[in-house]
Chains A and B, each alone.
Chain A
């Protein structure tokens, strides 16, 4: 009898504990009303998961989504504590003028320490090295903003899209798809140890920048035109189409570049600078573009038959 009572009591308490556990797992019960995003990626993510109305200021480089961004802009390269503190509109339920959370991707002017010193929560979401890191940041923003479920849904969709893209690339043991990923016209590139580099690697592509990487460049070496011409990559991605008007035509005009395989066979792919440099909700779009390009090269018999 005593055992039965204890058993029933345990079951009852467990049932009562479930809502408490659920509430704890979902984070704050009150959604923050003043979020400041100094990271273009975080801005995109917050709006994608439905937290846009909570964002009251963004940095100057935040430009997506095209509509709905707050008019208050902060210089992320030279931020000041005073300018950040004063951006929030106080509400009856939230009379404090301090932001609830500030998201940064670069700790300029030691802003993280300065804001923390005045009691403002700061999240430093710098560029991740892996897809897992990107997903973790999306989920984190979901929990912080009170949109955890939306964030999980976004992550699940991204995983599905990316897995589908990876699976769609046929095995190609005898075809080396070598890539050059251009970040700017001075030939800064990225290696496979970076986030985008890992995406290319997952598609079975190799990266000509890997051989030129040093420990000092952090995965972003500056190549030389001579090296790129010598390496003759089969696929070139341009992530400087907006900042620097790079295009397949302009690349073909560079000295020596017309002899590169990618240029000669028309596999120079222009990417939007923003899509190519952010790790948020448009990751699926970036992966689609990378996948399509790799598949096009594999299918081009002229590349492989000389």
Chain B
């Protein structure tokens, strides 16, 4: 929890424009009636209109990706499962490409990109479920295979559109695919917040069921668990939340697969511990990664997905080497 608070404060304090730590903290406290702010109007704009929504969106995105990743790993009992398993990334990428390349015309306004990315992500998951599912009796392996097929299909369609697009569109699609919190605003936070809150809560409530499912589907059914319904519910919640996040920040990889594993290595294999801790760990991780991304090569910003991979992978390998093999 301390790490989360430190990450959040760091997200407000650290940036290209030097604003003292004490002044930022003083301004935060003044908002809750403790003391007076000493920030200039410009500094206040930078902190509250630029850095704060970026930090909050980072917290929300990190939370959702980590919880969704952990949930998927529990549902599919697969350590390599991540939030993009059922085609969310490919669908969102296709939707964003359609918007940015202005396919068909009339889509050049930036507001179309998150909308079409969201729609694309949901369509991809729906197609995956339609192909790989047999209603509530669908098996995890068929879903995973369907997800791979759908992802390949959507990615190839995206590649085709990119090839037809202009150089400028190509560059903007590439930047979107790398993922970024740079375009965060309070309106994007407001849009994403209800999805993250509701979907995370659903996943957290389903944690006990995920623990039961870890012993196997047949065994779970024999214990009275409605495996099909639970799977449908958590996959829907995790996918919906991930789609909302991806539409706002692009494709940020690594968070959803590594954070739950790191948490698992530290606190054990019960999802009643993994998922709540992943809320905090994922949020902190992404905000710290974003702070690194926007400062380490200032004035340029590194793509956020590069930082999450560069930072997360060695940490994961280190912890894995200390704790042995990954157990689900």
Residues of A within 8 A of B (CB): 60-61, 77-78, 106, 184-187, 212, 214, 217, 221-227, 229-230, 232, 242-245, 250, 254-256, 259, 273
Set B51, B53, B110, B184: member contacting A185, Cβ < 8 A: B110
Q: How far is it, in angstroms, between the C-alpha of A227 and the C-alpha of B16 when the chains are bound?
A: 7
Q: How far is it, in angstroms, between the C-alpha of A227 and the C-alpha of B17 when the chains are bound?
A: 7
Whether the Cβ atoms of A212 and B46 lie closer than 8 Å is no
9 contacts between A and B (CB under 8 A): A78-B163, A225-B182, A227-B16, A230-B42, A243-B166, A244-B110, A250-B109, A256-B46, A256-B49
Q: How far is it, in angstroms, between the C-alpha of A61 and the C-alpha of B163 when the chains are bound?
A: 13
Whether the Cβ atoms of A217 and B300 lie closer than 8 Å is yes
Residues of A contacting B184 in the complex (Cβ-Cβ under 8 angstroms)? 255
Chain A residue at minimal CB-CB distance from B52: A255
Residues of A contacting B186 in the complex (Cβ-Cβ under 8 angstroms)? 255
Q: Is the interface of A mostly helix, strand, loop or mixed?
A: loop
Set B16, B42, B49, B168: member contacting A184, Cβ < 8 A: B168
Residues of B contacting A254 in the complex (Cβ-Cβ under 8 angstroms)? 185
Whether the Cβ atoms of B300 and A214 lie closer than 8 Å is yes
Whether the Cβ atoms of B299 and A230 lie closer than 8 Å is no
Set A224, A245, A256, A259: member contacting B110, Cβ < 8 A: A245
Whether the Cβ atoms of A256 and B108 lie closer than 8 Å is no
Q: Which of B178-195 touch A at CB < 8 Å?
A: 182-186
Chain B residue at minimal CB-CB distance from A217: B300
- Is B41 located at the chain interface by the 8 A CB criterion? yes
Smallest CB separation, B80 vs chain A (Å): 32
Whether the Cβ atoms of A186 and B17 lie closer than 8 Å is no
Chain A residue at minimal CB-CB distance from B188: A255
Whether the Cβ atoms of A243 and B167 lie closer than 8 Å is no
Q: How many residues of B contact A (CB 8 A)?
A: 33
Kindly count the residue-residue contacts between A and B in the assembled complex, taking CB atoms under 8 Å apart.
Answer: 84
Q: Give 8 closest A-B pairs by Cβ, nearest first.
A: A212-B299, A245-B109, A256-B49, A255-B49, A255-B185, A245-B108, A256-B45, A230-B17
- Is B15 located at the chain interface by the 8 A CB criterion? yes
Whether the Cβ atoms of B46 and A226 lie closer than 8 Å is yes
Chain A residue at minimal CB-CB distance from B15: A226
Q: How far is it, in angstroms, between the C-alpha of A177 and the C-alpha of B243 when the chains are bound?
A: 44
Whether the Cβ atoms of A244 and B42 lie closer than 8 Å is no
Contacts A255-B49, A255-B186, A256-B49; A227 near B110 (Cβ below 8 A): no
Whether the Cβ atoms of A225 and B50 lie closer than 8 Å is yes
Whether the Cβ atoms of A230 and B46 lie closer than 8 Å is yes
Contacts A77-B167, A243-B169, A244-B110; A255 near B17 (Cβ below 8 A): no
Set A222, A242, A244: member contacting B301, Cβ < 8 A: A222
Q: Which of B26-70 touch A at CB < 8 Å?
A: 41-42, 45-46, 49-51, 53
Chain A residue at minimal CB-CB distance from B165: A77
Q: Which of B181-233 touch A at CB < 8 Å?
A: 182-186
Whether the Cβ atoms of B50 and A243 lie closer than 8 Å is no
- Is B145 located at the chain interface by the 8 A CB criterion? no
Whether the Cβ atoms of B182 and A259 lie closer than 8 Å is no
Q: How far is it, in angstroms, between the C-alpha of A60 and the C-alpha of B170 when the chains are bound?
A: 14
Chain A residue at minimal CB-CB distance from B112: A245
Whether the Cβ atoms of B182 and A186 lie closer than 8 Å is yes
Contacts A214-B300, A225-B50, A226-B51; A243 near B16 (Cβ below 8 A): no
